[in-house]
Copies of this chain bind each other. A is one copy, B any other.
Amino acid sequence: MMNVEKLREIVGNDWVITKREQMERYLVDETAPGVRPKPADNVVVVKPANTSEIARILKLANIDKTPVFVRGGGTGLCGGAVPTLDGIVLSMERLDKIEEVDKDNLMIVAEAGVTLESMLKAVEEAGLFFPPHPGDEGAQVGGLVACNAGGTRAVKYGVIRNYVKGLEAVLPTGEIINLGGKLLKNNQGLDLMHLLIHSEGILGVITKVILRLYPRVASSGTLVISYDNRHDAIDSVPKILQSGVIPLAIEYVERDEIETSARYLNMKWPATKGKAYLMVILTGANDDEVYSQGEQVSDICEQCNAVDILIAETGEEQSRILKMRSELYSSMKEQYADILDVTVPPASVGVFMDRVDEIAKRFNTNIPNYGHAADGNLHSHLLADLQDKGIVRQVKREIYQEALKLGGVITGEHGIGVIRIPDLDLCPDGKMWELMRGIKRLFDPNNILNPGVGLLG
């Protein structure tokens, strides 16, 4: 088992925590408390300074067969960072250097422990732009890649996968590999880089990332479109996308939830009418372009019975609106038993919400939904009362089955982590899971890296 002395030798005395009372924050993530896994009893937190220390730690753990749980910002929503077995929590926090913002290649090179917040700041200071915004800015870039984060603003340029051009990673057996580079095209062999993206930490420890940047958008605007009826809101979405306008984001929220988030942030949700909202972020080369896109979107939404349309033009107004959306989850976390992440074909979002309503009715509860409407990615909330009645899992599985019937998946962006393993039996392609397990064995023969996470239930 664990050799704490050797760990101290590798990283230095100050960077190993063995006292339980000093490591509480390393034992949890942002998963809803009702479903969050319990941490194991004997855990050591190790904070390496660099890739070569990580390589030495993994070599050691691989020999000792000690479980290693990689920890980024701890903002995950499916228990993937919780050390569920006795072992090592490998915190990436000291790999926090931005090596380069390369304006000529429009790329950033950052160590895995750099937070989304620091990265966005560096990118902005360079006069550039990183389009996606997966939510909590305490997330670290290594985690964004390991979990293929999505979030708002994936409509125009896609999820994090699309931005990743290069990775450095340490394999569970201790070797350091470099995949990709500052490259926009790369067909040199099977694409192990794309295999590591969304490997949820089970195939290797991502230590450095190269991400694609874009020029700063010259102009942007955020529309808040109010509807009395959620279906009118949802029906507007494919019509917007078919019109040729490609917004950065199209988010769907409902009044109760967004006002909860607003109160949590001491802000005020700007819309007074309606109870279902689309939040549409538009970008363009100049104000005229954004204005003309805004006109087009407004026309479409009015035809779909929108009752009010507000336009935020200043940067400050726009970030306030985005902030209320981004903090929705945090503001509500304590009231909910579980928060789902199903994804269906975008045009099926309306049907899916109807089916969730039917399930809610049948179980005599209310299941609020919000999410990334244009991506087909909905976060249904299961209220705490279901937990009291002991039927969280039953309700969840019925929702999952409806999503699967529509050609969907049980997780679009949050991942499997620990909490979704018991329900993978609903996704029955045995051969697929067998191949995934084979790949895991190939990369990690002693099953030391995030054991129990992802597919290895």
Q: Which residues of B contact A408 (CB under 8 A)?
A: 181, 183
Interface flag for A82 (CB, 8 Å) = no
Q: Looking at the complex, which one of B187, B217, B241, B412 makes contact with A186 (CB distance below 8 Å)? A: B412
* A242 contacts the other chain (CB 8 A): yes
A13 at interface, CB cutoff 8 A? no
- Decide if A106 is an interface residue (CB 8 Å cutoff): yes
A191 in contact with B190 given A244-B285, A408-B183 (CB within 8 Å): no
* C-alpha gap A175/B430 in the complex (Å): 10
- Interface residues on chain A, number (Cβ under 8 Å): 91
Q: Is the CB of B190 within 8 A of A285?
A: no
Q: Are A377 and B185 in contact (CB under 8 A)?
A: yes
Which of A436-451 touch B at CB < 8 Å?
Answer: 436, 438-440, 442-443
- Asked if A182 is at the interface (CB within 8 A of a chain B CB), the reply is yes
Within the complex, the shortest CB–CB distance from A282 to chain B, in Å, comes to: 11
Whether A361 is near chain B, meaning CB under 8 Å from some CB there, is: no
Within 8 Å of chain B (Cβ to Cβ): is A375?
yes
Please tell me if A335 contacts chain B, counting CB pairs below 8 Å.
no
A102-B347, A238-B104, A412-B183 in contact; A431/B188 too (CB < 8 A)? Answer: no
Q: 8 Å CB contacts to B: which residues of A200-250?
A: 202-203, 214-218, 238, 241-246
* Interface contact B195-A195, CB-CB below 8 Å: yes
Are B241's CB and A215's CB within 8 A?
yes
Q: Which of B189, B241, B286 contacts A432 (CB 8 A)?
A: B189
- A132 smallest CB distance to B (angstroms): 12
User: Within the assembled complex, what's the spacing in Å between the Cα atoms of A421 and B139?
Assistant: 40
Partner of A185, one of B154, B199, B433: B154
A416 within 8 A of B: yes
Which A111-167 residues have C-beta < 8 A from chain B? 147-148, 150, 154, 158-159, 161-162
Picked from B105, B244, B439, the residue with its CB within 8 Å of the CB of A215 is B244
Rounded to whole angstroms, the CA-CA distance of A171 and B190 in the bound complex is 16
Identity of the chain B residue whose Cβ is nearest the Cβ of A443 in the assembled complex: B435
Residues of B within 8 A of A190 (CB): 195, 198-199, 202-203, 436, 439-440, 454-455
Interchain CA distance A321-B70 in the complex, whole Å: 52
Indicate if the CB atoms of B285 and A289 lie closer than 8 Å: yes
User: Which of chain B's residues have a CB closer than 8 A to the CB of A203?
Assistant: 190
- What would be 29 A-B contacts, judged by CB atoms less than 8 Å apart? A103-B242, A104-B238, A104-B347, A159-B185, A178-B429, A182-B346, A183-B343, A184-B346, A184-B375, A184-B377, A185-B372, A185-B375, A186-B412, A187-B412, A187-B413, A188-B409, A188-B416, A189-B433, A190-B203, A190-B440, A190-B455, A194-B194, A194-B197, A215-B241, A215-B242, A244-B285, A285-B296, A438-B442, A439-B442
